Amino acid sequence: MILKDTKHVCPWWLCFTFDNPIRKIIHDPIKILSPYVHKGGTAIDIGPGMGYFTIPLAQLVGPTGRVTAIDIQPKMLSALMGRAQKKGLSDRIKTHLTGPDSIGFHEKADFILTFWMVHEVPDQRRFLLEIRDLMKPQGLFLLVEPVIHVSKKSFSQTLETAKGLGLFIKESPKIRMSQSALFSCGKDGH
């Protein structure tokens, strides 16, 4: 099972603790994402919860851009779309309910985000391989993991796995309470 280890998947009802206005003090989505996401672009948010980053991604890509939110929990995607409708952004967002064995999505993107969720994935190599295959040639992938749940050693192992699959670290953005890496598909960022 690539995406689902039920002992480690954050339940839908717990996301209310992560998806709240106070969190913007620590994780301002626009500040974190705006260097990498552009008008008219395509983005994928994997493990989006109730849309804390998905909604700002939709704002950043603008009316001609598209965002896909991929999750294994239908209640997360339903809550996300409810929030998107309230913000008038539901036409820019589509959801994809994935199964436990594969992301199961094949449209390539300019930007892919996994925020505080890769540690929940039992088969990280397979998962990262699918992410690599979803990236456009000039695409970027931002991997962010919590310092609370993920040791430096474990995060380093994840980075080595990604590099072994042909992903290259462009930078390590400073994100509070997190370890992060921005990847591209080529050494020179292309």
Q: Please, which pLDDT band fits residue 25 given cuts at 50, 70 and 90?
A: confident
pLDDT given for residue 19 in this prediction? 65
User: Is residue 1 included in any domain, yes or no?
Assistant: no
Res. 35: pLDDT tops 90: yes
User: Is residue 40 included in any domain, yes or no?
Assistant: yes
pLDDT given for residue 23 in this prediction? 60
Q: Please, which pLDDT band fits residue 5 given cuts at 50, 70 and 90?
A: very low
Instruction: Tell me how far apart the alpha carbons of residues 136 and 49 are, in angstroms, rounded to a whole number.
Output: 24
Q: How many domains does the chain have?
A: 1
Res. 176: pLDDT tops 50: yes
CATH of the domain at 59: 3.40.50.150
Please give the residue range of the domain that contains residue 105.
Answer: 19-184
Average pLDDT over residues 108-112: 98
User: Is residue 6 included in any domain, yes or no?
Assistant: no
User: Is residue 4 included in any domain, yes or no?
Assistant: no
What Rg do the C-alpha atoms of the chain give, in angstroms?
A: 15
User: Is residue 189 included in any domain, yes or no?
Assistant: no
Give me the residue label for tokens 């804390």.
Answer: 52
Q: Are 150 and 121 in contact (CB under 8 A)?
A: no
| Mean pLDDT, all residues of the chain | 89
User: Is residue 2 included in any domain, yes or no?
Assistant: no
Beta-carbon count within 10 A of 109 CB: 22
The lowest-confidence range among 13-27, 91-105, 148-162 is 13-27
